[in-house]
Amino acid sequence: MSEFRLYNTMTRSVDALTPEDGETVRMYTCGPTVYNPAHVGNFRTFLFEDLLRRAFRLRGWNVDQVMNLTDVDDKIIKRAAEKGLTIGQVTEPVIEIFHSDRRYLRIEDAETYPRATDHIPEMVALVEELMKKGIAYKAEDGSVYYAIDRFADYGKLSRLDTREIKSGARVSQDDYTKENAQDFALWKAAKEEDEKTEAAWDSPWGRGRPGWHLECSAMAMRYLGHTMDVHCGGVDLVFPHHEDEIAQSEGATGETFSRFWCHGEFLLTDGSKMAKRVGNVATVADMRAQGISAAAFRAFVFSTHYRKQLNLSPDALDAATEGVRRVGDFAERLAAARGGTPALVQIAAEAERDASEALFDDLNAPIAMGALFTFIRRANGELDKGGSDVPGLEAARHTFSRINGVLDIVPEGEVVDDADEIEARLAERREARQTRDFARSDAIRKELEGRGIEIKDGPTGTSWKRVR
């Protein structure tokens, strides 16, 4: 079997990956900050991570994925304060929307979805360890900061010299109580709005709340240990977020935090050049309202390599929609077929090999998609011959299930169930025709046509296909 190779941001090269224990990939993926519903750009990253975990399983490994939910940070507290709510009242409905959107896009469940507010003790313990080792210090304002000049490897992921580093997001430049303007907050002293919104906790340094970067380090190590196999996120998280996670975690443990760092590129929207129906797509709810199916969005995202920027455009979505129609038509034909040809065995084997090799080579989804469409074209040619070979048909079904099980263009199982139901209704129609109950026969035809099923009666029997 081909080795699994993945681009590692730390080494800037495509490296061979195997789980440290040889069996289970321990994988941390940075999740949403839940003050607003995640936008479709976030979901491009989540879909790349979904594809990655499915590809790991195709390779024969188990996956233990942790995706955090950031439910306390500056934006959440500000939103809560403005509305006179607690942070929990702000975040709870947004978390529900995230899971609903994720399920709509058929993103598999991670094994764990830890919330930052449920892991304050782990965060406090991590800060205590960093202070014990002299890497963190308490400032006059009561906050605790990480001293980046006391961690020799700071900047190794982003390849930034500390002289070039500006203060990162959520770090105050004008806070003169810090030893260095570049130091970042591990623990922020509570302010009045923190207390009012229930965003403050007790700690050895007084009432306060965790810094953004601290949350992921504490939760990742809580569930995956000191060293994980893969840490993923969008390219915008390389600095400062992932750089600071490394500093905190490795500063505390002295061990490698993650063996691989994997980042997905941006989804772009060029609003002035786009049709209104695309320019208005900001969330999954917008996408659904405009009739863009989950299948079309998955096909659109996987049409471009995860490390290349992707532009949301009407033409790209139309092409994805047409591709989905082809896959759906083939899935239904395959489910309804009663036999094939011996040649399907070889065609299926070649398709599975090509798709697997593409996915195992830095998750090359466009090549895997191409292998799927080549398979569909070749298999259709064999099915057109009307053969009765069962092993060939079963090989084709197995391969389609394997490839589609990773890309998930057509929901697994639904097509087969639907096809079985359609075949049952057609059997009832044949029986009605044989007993000359033409009213019932016509009623079944109209019912199926109303569901978008086209029926053709011919000398060799009745065939059907979905036309919408």
pTM: 0.86
pLDDT of amino acid 417: 46
Contacts of residue 90, Cβ cutoff 8 Å, sequence gap at least 6: 34, 35, 76, 79, 80, 83
Contacts of residue 39, Cβ cutoff 8 Å, sequence gap at least 6: 282, 283
Indicate the domain borders of the chain: 4-264, 268-412, 416-466
| H/E element, 122 | helix 120-132
pLDDT of amino acid 181: 85
Spatial distance between the Cα atoms of 435 and 439, rounded to a whole number of angstroms: 11
Provide the CATH number for the domain formed by 268-412 in this structure: 1.10.730.10
pLDDT of amino acid 421: 75
Of the candidates 104, 88, 117, 116, the one whose C-alpha atom is nearest the C-alpha of residue 46 is 104
- Within this chain, domains 4-264 and 268-412 share the same CATH topology: no
The angle formed by the CA atoms of residues 452, 105 and 212, to the nearest 5 degrees, is 165
Cα separation values, 153 from 187, 259, 419, Å: 22, 15, 58
Q: Which residues of the chain have pLDDT under 50?
A: 167-176, 271-275, 416-417, 468
Spatial distance between the Cα atoms of 418 and 222, rounded to a whole number of angstroms: 43
pLDDT of amino acid 466: 67
pLDDT of amino acid 361: 98
pLDDT of amino acid 178: 76
pLDDT of amino acid 172: 45
pLDDT of amino acid 418: 61
Q: Contact 114/66 with Cβ under 8 angstroms?
A: yes
Domain 4-264 class, CATH top level: alpha beta
pLDDT of amino acid 167: 46
The angle formed by the CA atoms of residues 212, 41 and 407, to the nearest 5 degrees, is 115
Spatial distance between the Cα atoms of 431 and 441, rounded to a whole number of angstroms: 8
Spatial distance between the Cα atoms of 238 and 132, rounded to a whole number of angstroms: 27
